[in-house]
Structure 1
């Protein structure tokens, strides 16, 4: 398990854009991991999305899934200190709303990485039900750029 202190060491994200609370499992050999985001009513986006009917924006669910994959990548000493950027998002599907009180569990697999560009596949669930899934192409920038 990777706790928040270690996540903060490897990810460049900070409040209010840090959208992963813990990495529950990490398999660096097979490039797979499982992350957790506790969704609370205190999230700033719930003020406007939507008043009286709070739903986590889909783009932030995607960002949360991307951060779980980035945590797996950036824990590696060869990738440490790099900045992950989204290049393309494919096959995105939203299956159920994510609301305050939910625990968003993300399973992520890095499919390949070559020359600072890679592809990942991710699925996020709440209580075992699929909330969202996607494939993402990403780029890893050197920190100085």
Structure 2
């Protein structure tokens, strides 16, 4: 299943300037791929870094977590709730992401235990791994 930006907004509560997805190109029960087209006017480039803009690693991890939120909040049991980002493990940043890049954000929810979930996430630019992490979240009202 594919989702437009407007459909993403129906699932997760994030909004501009902190909605960091442009579309979901694949959504299954526990896996999804999102896309972020990095434009030169992203809010974080103003200070990171003037004259040499680089997407902050925490923004990449948050983008991956938002894909995870789309996965879990698409389930009937969790519709209308919020997926709170609760942890990051083993985050690695392999290459800089720059203005003009298109980032493919892969996330797989690997375990759900009650209101808590865990996942593996990877970001790619031009088929090259740029970021990877294990993420966790809690679903609440």
TM class by shorter chain equals: over 0.9
Residue 13 of structure 1 aligns to a residue whose secondary structure is coil
Residue 104 of structure 1 corresponds to 103
Residue 66 of structure 1 corresponds to 65
TM-score under structure 1 length normalisation:
0.94
Give the root-mean-square deviation of aligned CA atoms. Answer: 0.7
Gaps of 5+ in 1: none
User: In 1, Cα distance between the equivalents of 2:33 and 2:139?
Assistant: 21
Q: Structure 2 matches for 1:1-80, cutoff 5 A?
A: 1-28=2-29, 31-80=30-79
Deviation digits for residues 65-117 of structure 1 (CA, Å, limit 9, x no counterpart) = 00011111111221111111121110100000011000110111001112110
User: In 1, Cα distance between the equivalents of 2:89 and 2:113?
Assistant: 19
User: In 1, Cα distance between the equivalents of 2:135 and 2:57?
Assistant: 15
Task: List, as ranges, runs of 4+ consecutive aligned residues in structure 1 with deviation greater than 3 Å.
Answer: none
Would you say how many aligned residue pairs link Structure 1 and Structure 2? Answer: 140
Gaps of 5+ in 2: none
1:130 is displaced (CA, Å) by 0.5
TM-score under structure 2 length normalisation:
0.97
Is the counterpart of residue 94 in structure 1 residue 87 in structure 2? no
